[in-house]
Structure 1
Amino acid sequence: MPSADDVKLRRNVALRFASYVTCLGLLTGLGLFFYAGMRDAASWGAFVLATVAVLVGLVWFVGSTLRSSSKNRHPRAAADSHSAAAEPAVNAAAGAKDMSGDDDVDYLTALRHEFRTPLNAVLGFSDVLLSGIDGEVNESQREDLEIIRASGIRLKLLVDSALDLSHLADDHLSLNADRIDVRELVARVAAEAGQLWSNKRSANCILPEEPCITRADESRLRRCILVLADFLATDHRDADIELSLARSGAHLAIEITAGASDQLSFDALPTTAEVLASEEASEIRRWPVAVTAEVISRHEGSLYHGNAPSRFLVRLPVQGAT
Structure 2
Amino acid sequence: MLTPQAIDAVVRGALAEDAPWGDITSELLIPAEAQATARLVAREAGVFSGGQVFVATMLTVDAAVTVGLAVADGARFAPGDTLATVSGSARSVLRGERVALNLVQRMSGIATETTRYVAEVAGTGARIVDTRKTTPGLRALERHAVRCGGGHNHRFSLSDAVLAKDNHLAVLASRGAGVTEALLGLRARLSHTTHLEVEVDDASQIEPVLAGGVDTIMLDNFALDALRAGVVQVAGRALVEASGNVSLATVRAIAETGVDVISVGALTHSVRALDLGLDIALELPADPALHPEPSAVASVRRESYRALP
TM-score with structure 2 setting the length: 0.27
**Greater fraction strand:** 2
